[in-house]
Structures are given as structure tokens and as C-alpha cells.
Chain A
Amino acid sequence: MSDKIVTLSDATFDEHVKSSDVPVLVDFWAEWCGPCKMIAPILEEIADEQAGKIQIAKLNVDDSSEVASRFEVRSIPTLILFKDGEPEVRLVGAKPKGQLVQELSAYL
């Protein structure tokens, strides 16, 4: 995994998302989710290409179900972009890289 990607959990989520200087894109995923695996390499690329503008974080919904249910995640992959701790963009389902970048373009 890219060293630019952080791993969050129920315990670390709030503090990290609130204290980050840049928007944090949280990838809600699980080991058993095929579409999550499809977008994982895309997120690695975005993490490298957009370093300094956006932080990519992964949150495993099996291990951290509290955060997932707080944000009413009902389908994975779900990507939520947090700015100053507040959810601003929500993308549900696997999407091609071009489309992801476009939907996040206001923050890149």
C-alpha cells in the first residue's frame, strides 16, 4: 500500500479527520468486497498524484463498524470526503479513475 495512505479505525477516525490540514477521502471497504478491490489501486494512484492536496484513508467496516453506521454506509465501496471534519462529498460504488477524479475535482 502507498505510504501516503493512512488506515483509520473507530478509535482514530474522529481525531484524524478533524485535525487534518487537507480534506480526507475515507474509503469504507472490506476484505470480502470485490468492487472495493477494483478501486484500491486507483486510490493508491490518487494518493500519490494528489499528495498534499488530499489525504486518502482506509476504514475497514468489519473492524470499525461504529463509524460506518454513524455515516449510514449501506453499500461498499463508499467514499466520503471530509473537510474540517464534516462530510462534503459521498460517492457510492466502484467508479473509473477519471470519474472519481472529476467528482473530487473541487478539492484537488
Chain B
Amino acid sequence: MAERRKVVIIGSGPAGLTAAIYAARAQLEPLVIEGEPSSNSDQPGGQLMLTTDVENYPGFVDGVMGPELMAIMRAQAMRFGAELRTAKVSRLDLSSPSPFPLWVGDPDADEPTVLTDALIVATGARSLMLGCPNEERLLGYGVSTCATCDGFFFREQHIAVAGGGDSALEEALFLTRFATKVTVVHRRDELRASKIMQERAFKNPKIEFLWDSVIVDVLGDTKVSGIRIRHTTSEETFELPVSGLFVAIGHEPNSALLKGQLELQGNGYVRTIGRTTKTSVDGVFACGDVQDDYYRQAVTSAGSGCMAAIDAERWLEERGE
């Protein structure tokens, strides 16, 4: 028979774990289905697992390592009795009112794994890929979405970064620690990154920019040897010999599981109601990057995780549970 829960939280980044801390302290005995190890951010600990120094999370004067911060949050949630399960939700069904059935493992099993009164969705976001032909094949062989994980292997080499936002410039600046030269390839003629990041990047002698340029393919047999670029104004195509390509063109929400189950915005992010974490389905709450396409910070994620736990707790109270 399906296990019965008052609250299930899907995801274990700052949003999911903060929701778990609050729900556990409210004696709701939450189950956190934290995801499974992977290197693309849909994973236990969330996107901070792919970072090094986090300097803007309040409470850490000298900064904290991303994976370390997540280990602390996890331990804090467990201290209050949250149960964490390293697994992935394969299916959920929100078509009937609460309790909601969730499946872990075989999505076609007759019996769901868990039935939960309230559901908190904190599945986060992941890096967007370029989608060019050889990108996926060369992922891990010179193509990377994580400068902090892989930059180390590109000492004294020329590498390219795709993107024009803050995360692209952060990666580019980080990569100058190792690379001889970093070429930022951006499809427009101006950056959308913040002024402070732009200033830092423009000042760095190792960083150069290719404007109005789109990466159409990644070259290389067993490892990256270059990228093919199309200049959008002249329509000329040329090759840039680089040994690495770091992709930082933005994020997409991990909302595939929710499609057709609750209301999403046009860009795939979960729609929440007003200033709450309520979604279009009564009893389902969303927090963190899966519903935030604007702030996307660890601390705002944690804040919305707290809100989701409080919203869920009050919702359960109103139902008299």
C-alpha cells in the first residue's frame, strides 16, 4: 500500500530544504524526495552543488562553498526529523483533489509510492544547452555547463563561453584563473549581464568578445577542438579553435513532471498565485527556481521555501488535519 504523508517536498536545493526545516519544526514529518545524483543541476542539493564560493548568502562572513552550504542545510532539516530520500519522482497525478499520488521508480506501477495531503514542488532549474549537433556527444569532453567543476582541466588553454548574462560572465571570469584566453560568444551586440559584471569582464585582459555570433556546432572527434560560429549580421561562418566550450545561456525550469498537472507560465515556470506559493491546484505549493524566473538567488529560494512550508501548514490546518 502507498505510504501516507502530510507533506511531501520534491527537490532539495535551498527552497526544498528550507521548506523541510519549517515543515519538520511544525511537526508535519515531511518527506523530501531529493532527486538523484547527476551533473546537470536536477540533483540533490540543487544548482549550488555546481558552484564553489557563495559570497552573498547571509550569515557567512567569509563566504561558504556551495556544496558545503547544502550539506549544512540538509543536516539542519534532518535534525528536526525531515526524512530525505535519494530518489526521483517519476510521475504524479494532480487531477483529483488531495491526497495526491506520487510514483518513485516505475511510473506505470498500479500503486503509487506515496500519497500526500500537501505537496511542495521545489524542483529548481537547470542549464539550457545550445542544442547544436555535437554538443551532447562532447559533454564532459570539453563541453561543460559547470566552470567551477571543469575549469581546472583547461589550464593554459583557449576556451569559449556561450552566453551574455551574469552567469556567462561569472564563468568567463572564473575561467581566466586557468585559461590563457577566454572568448565570450554572444548572439547579440550587447550584454544583459549586470553593470558590475560587465565592467569586470571588459577590464580583464584575458577576456575577448565575439558579438552577434551564434555557435552552430562543436567540433572534435574524442574531445573538443573548436566551435563553428555564424556571424548573424554578415551571415559568414567560421571556426574558432578552442579546447573547451562552457555553456551559460540561461536556465529552464525542471517542470516537465508538472506539465498538464498544474498551471505553468508560457516559459515553463510554475505560476504561483499573488504573493503566496499557492499554485493552480489546491494543496500544491511551489517555491524556488521552478517558479522564479526573475530573482533566482539561493537566498530568495530559501525564503520562498519557508513561505511554501507556512502556506502548506496553514492549508492543512484549515482542512482540520
Give the size category of A's interface with B. 20 to 34
Whether B305 is near chain A, meaning CB under 8 Å from some CB there, is no
Known contacts A68-B153, A74-B153, A74-B223; decide if A35 and B140 are in contact (CB<8 Å): no
Whether B49 is near chain A, meaning CB under 8 Å from some CB there, is yes
User: A94, B38: Cβ atoms under 8 Å?
Assistant: yes
Give the size category of B's interface with A. 20 to 34
How far, in Å, is A95 (CB) from chain B's closest CB?
6
Known contacts A68-B153, A75-B149, A76-B149; decide if A34 and B50 are in contact (CB<8 Å): yes
Known contacts A74-B141, A96-B38; decide if A34 and B152 are in contact (CB<8 Å): no
Residues in B neighbouring A69, C-beta threshold 8 A? 153
User: B43, A35: Cβ atoms under 8 Å?
Assistant: yes
Whether B116 is near chain A, meaning CB under 8 Å from some CB there, is no
Please, how many angstroms separate the alpha-carbon atoms of A72 and B144 in the complex?
14
Please, how many angstroms separate the alpha-carbon atoms of A18 and B276 in the complex?
60
Please, how many angstroms separate the alpha-carbon atoms of A52 and B40 in the complex?
33
Nearest A residue (CB) for B67: A34
Contact of B141 among A32, A34, A75, A94 (CB under 8 A): A75
User: B142, A74: Cβ atoms under 8 Å?
Assistant: yes
Contact of A38 among B45, B66, B88 (CB under 8 A): B45
Please, how many angstroms separate the alpha-carbon atoms of A42 and B44 in the complex?
13
Residues in A neighbouring B140, C-beta threshold 8 A? 74-75, 78, 92-93
Whether A61 is near chain B, meaning CB under 8 Å from some CB there, is yes
Contact of B37 among A35, A61, A72 (CB under 8 A): A35
Nearest A residue (CB) for B50: A34
Instruction: Produce 1/0 per residue, B14-41, CB < 8 A to A.
Output: 0000000000000000000000111110
User: A32, B148: Cβ atoms under 8 Å?
Assistant: yes
Whether A53 is near chain B, meaning CB under 8 Å from some CB there, is no
Contact surface of A with B, Cβ cutoff 8 Å = 30, 32-35, 37-39, 42, 61-62, 68-69, 72-78, 92-97
List 12 additional A-B contacts (Cβ < 8 Å) besides A38-B49, A74-B150, A93-B38.
Answer: A32-B65, A34-B45, A34-B49, A37-B67, A38-B43, A73-B153, A75-B150, A78-B140, A92-B141, A93-B39, A96-B38, A97-B37
